[in-house]
Structure 1
Amino acid sequence: MRELVFALEYNPGCNQVADTLAAHPGARIRSLSLHATAESLWRVDHATGTADALDAIEGAVLNSDYYADCLASDVCGATQTTRVLDHTGDTLVLYSDWERTPTCESVPHIAREHLGDGVLFETRHEGRHYTWRIIHSGAGDVAGFFDDLDAAVGDCAEREMLRTVDTSAATGDGDGKRVELAPEQEAALRAAVEHGYYESPREVDVGELAAHLDVPRSTLTYRLRRAEEQLAKRHVTGEGVLERPLQL
Structure 2
Amino acid sequence: MKKILEIGCGQGFRTYLLSKQKNNKVIGIDASKKDIEICKKRYPRIEFLNMNAEKLLFKDKSFDQVLAIDILEHVDNLRKTIAEITRVLKSKGKVIVNVPHYKSEEWLLKIRPTYFSEIHHVRFFKEGEIESLFKESKMVLEKKKKKGFLQHFELYFLFKRKVKSDSQLSIGSWRDNFYTKAVHAFFLMFDPVVVRTPLVYFPLWIITVPIGFVFNWFGNLFLPKSFYYEFVKN
Structures share fold, TM-score greater than 0.5:
no
Larger strand proportion of the pair: 1
Q: Which has the larger radius of gyration?
A: 1
Larger helix proportion of the pair: 2
TM-score, normalised via structure 1 length: 0.28
